Amino acid sequence: MEVLKKNPAWKGRKGPLVLVIMDGVGYGKYKEGDAVADSKMNHLDAIKAKSPNTHLKAHGKAVGLPSDDDMGNSEVGHNAMGCGRVFKQGAALVSNSIASGAIWNGQAWKDVSATKGTLHFLGLFSDGNVHSHLDHLKAMIIRAKQDGVKRVRVHTLFDGRDVGETSALDYVIPFEAFLKALSDGDFDARIGSGGGRMWITMDRYGADWEMVHRGWETHVHGNARQFATTQEAVETYRKEIPGIIDQDLKEFVIVEDGKPIGAIEDGDSVVYFNFRGDRALEITAAFESDDFDKFNRGRRPNVCYAGMMEYDGDTHTPKRYLVSPPSIDRTLGEYLAASGVRTLAISETQKYGHVTYFFNGNRTGKFDEKLETFMEIKSDLVPFEQRPWMKCAEITDYILEAIPSGAYDFIRLNFPNGDMVGHTGVYQAVICSMEAMDLQIGRLAKAVEAAGGVMLITADHGNSDDMFEHSKKTGEVSRKADGSPKAKTSHSLNPVPCIVYDCGYQSEYESTLVEGLGISSIAATCMELLGFIPPADYDSSIVKMK
């Protein structure tokens, strides 16, 4: 790996460069429902008022997604910030592979479609295009029939985060009509089980393995509350648990003649059709690992398992996958390690993998054990609206010791508050989360100033800036029957902040930042603020050197 060239015009700073990623914090389009603007962000506002700042694009083509109608997300956002260039990402890769037919020619598809038993599809049941897309699922079911598969079962993980919070039946009803139209005497395709994504199956970073256990019992063993139809399951839970949203719907199985129709048996095939990796690794381990110890799996069926993509390139998980992820090389982290820069990456469990694995180009390990420190602060195992401050204070506590120690040249951190609490749809909790984070930004600013460092503040995508559903035509807030705003729990298409807080500014760069860029420009910006010349093919820095 080549060493970065020093910029002779850079006068240097005594303290470190601190990259603050405010997860899920953007500049809202609408006044009503913008919890970021509604919050008392006194410290952030004061920093912005006296510092160069601009807006960055954090969605759509700016982060490698198919179109500018696609919301950004934490994974592609951290990929973009860490690799300094835009790579085609999960949704686009899968769509291209299906369109070209490459997916069907791969050995993984040939393996799973060769089953003489049932072909099971498990994944996030929506068109949010963040973890999955129903168009991909439909294409695979159609192809499965063409390839001679006789029996398909779909295991639905309801969304309510990247799409409307109570939109499950908007997907279920037309999808079941689609399955019915495909089914005939030689082909039987039906939904077999389901539940909300934040209740079963889709845990990440080992935060709550019991979620995965519930999913395993539901999808594999058929051990869950029984219903005759998926619609009945959704409507029953909504009646029994007032206010429940799709992501929290309880587990269920569909039965016929008293028996689950979708239990997974020896000889079956299973495709986990999410293309995004963070919430795919744990259920994959449950299917693939021989020395699994996270919960008692009971009967472990002998199946042909495949993921939509390779979820971890270092451990090659899963063993079989349908579409290869982008090959990301020469990341910011790799360049800095080769150049002798001492780095600390820190967040709490919910976003720890983002400032490490995703930021480093989907790479699990370190580039240099001696130069890099990864620190995980354990997240609380409670609903985020109940602890909206999350672990931002503990993250800051650790950094406030790291800055004056002189042990690090570059510190990157993620405050998850705006994203994780934003997804709950609880407006008051989001306000609390923003103001708690702002207090910590104030603490960091003092420490950076005292050390003579630089703080670069940005975000990976919007979320808390757009908490209410709005009419696309009029911009008016959508309201429930009681007149209250309808909560929006998905990400936004809004731009995100970029602020350079440089207390030791010595006129090396223009005081006005470059505009119109995306968050992929963060990598080159970090290099320049550390005194290096970025690679020629990196997206341009937001600071314009003199």
Alpha-carbon gap, residue 414 to 348, rounded angstroms: 8
Phi and psi (nearest 5°) for 524?
A: -65, -35
Residue 93 CB partners (closer than 8 Å, separation 6+): 275, 309, 323, 324, 325, 326
Q: How many CB atoms lie within 10 A of CB 12?
A: 12
Inter-residue contact 18 to 404 (CB < 8 Å): no
Across 17-104, the runs of DSSP E, i.e. the strands, are: 17-22, 53-56
Q: How many CB atoms lie within 10 A of CB 180?
A: 11
Inter-residue contact 530 to 17 (CB < 8 Å): yes
Inter-residue contact 410 to 341 (CB < 8 Å): yes
Q: SS3 string of 350-415?
A: HHHHHHHHHCCCCCCCCCCCCCEEEEEECCCCCCHHHCCCCCHHHHHHHHHHHHHHCCCCEEEEEE
Residue 287 CB partners (closer than 8 Å, separation 6+): 270, 303, 305, 318
Q: Which two tokens stand for residue 513?
A: 């930042």
Give the type of residue at 415. F
Residue 127 CB partners (closer than 8 Å, separation 6+): 133, 134, 135, 163, 171
Cis status, amide bond into 485, omega within 30 of 0: no
Q: Which two tokens stand for residue 94?
A: 């899968």
Three-state secondary structure call for residue 18: strand
Give the type of residue at 391. K
Please provide the distance, in angstroms rounded to a whole number, between the alpha carbons at the two ends of the chain: 28
Q: Which two tokens stand for residue 164?
A: 């409307």
Question: Pairing relation of β-strands 372-377 and 252-256?
Answer: unpaired
Phi and psi (nearest 5°) for 530?
A: -100, 0
Alpha-carbon gap, residue 495 to 523, rounded angstroms: 17
Q: Which two tokens stand for residue 441?
A: 């930004």
Is 492 one of the catalytic residues? no
Best CA proximity match to 456, nearest among 337, 517, 355, 543: 543
Catalytic residue among 39, 51, 67, 74: 74
Give the type of residue at 114. A
Q: Number of C-alpha atoms within 13 angstroms, CB side, residue 187?
A: 17
Inter-residue contact 360 to 331 (CB < 8 Å): yes
CA 71 remoteness from chain centre: 11
Q: Which residues are catalytic?
A: 74
